[in-house]
Amino acid sequence: MTENSVPDRTQVGIVGGGPAGLMLGQLLHLQGIDSVILERRPAEHVIERVRAGVLEQTTVDLLTEAGVGGRLHREGMRHDGIYIAFGGSRHHIDFSALTGGRTITIYGQNEVVRDLIDARRATGAPLLFETPDVSVQDLDTSRPRIRFSERGRPRELTCDFIAGCDGFHGICRASIPAARFRTFERIYPFGWLGILAAAPPASDEIVYSHHDRGFALFSMRSPTITRLYLQCAPDEDLDRWPDDRIWKELQTRLRTDDGWRPNEGAILQKGVTGMRSFVVEPMRHGPLFLAGDAAHIVPPTGAKGLNLAMADVWRLADALAAFYTSGNAGPLETYSDRGLRRVWRAQRFSWWMTSMLHKNESDTAFDERRQLAELDYLVSSSAAMTSLAESYSGAPLG
Ligand code: FAD
Ligand code: DHB
Counting atoms of ligand 1 from 1, which one is nearest the CA of 168?
Answer: 3
Q: Which of 51, 169, 312 to mutate to test the pocket of ligand 1 (most atoms within 8 A of CB)?
A: 51
Q: Compute, in angstroms, the gap from residue 378 CA to the centroid of ligand 1.
A: 30
Residue 343 CB less than 6 A away from ligand 1 = no
pLDDT at 4: 58
Q: What is the pLDDT of residues 252-294, one digit of tens each?
A: 999 999 999 999 999 999 999 999 999 999 999 999 999 999 9
Answer yes or no: are the C-beta atoms of 134 and 148 closer than 8 Å: yes
Question: Higher pLDDT residue, 222 or 52?
Answer: 222
Q: Compute, in angstroms, the gap from residue 311 CA to the centroid of ligand 1.
A: 14
pLDDT at 398: 78
Q: In this structure, which ligand is nearest to the CA of 193? A: 1
Q: Which of 207, 229, 298 to mutate to test the pocket of ligand 2 (most atoms within 8 A of CB)?
A: 229
Answer yes or no: are the C-beta atoms of 64 and 73 closer than 8 Å: yes
pLDDT at 88: 96
16-27 burial: b if 16+ Cβ within 10 Å, else e = bbbbbbbbbbbb
Active site residues: 79, 208, 300, 304, 392
Q: Compute, in angstroms, the gap from residue 227 CA to the centroid of ligand 2.
A: 8
Q: Closest Cα to atom 11, ligand 2: which residue? A: 53
pLDDT at 52: 87
Q: Compute, in angstroms, the gap from residue 167 CA to the centroid of ligand 2.
A: 18
Decide if pLDDT at 361 tops 80: yes
CA pair distance 148, 44, nearest whole angstrom: 20
pTM given for the model: 0.96
Q: What is the pLDDT of residues 146-182, one digit of tens each?
A: 999 998 899 999 999 999 999 999 999 999 999 999 9
Counting atoms of ligand 1 from 1, which one is nearest the CA of 308?
Answer: 25
Decide if pLDDT at 1 tops 70: no
Rounded average pLDDT over 50-55: 91
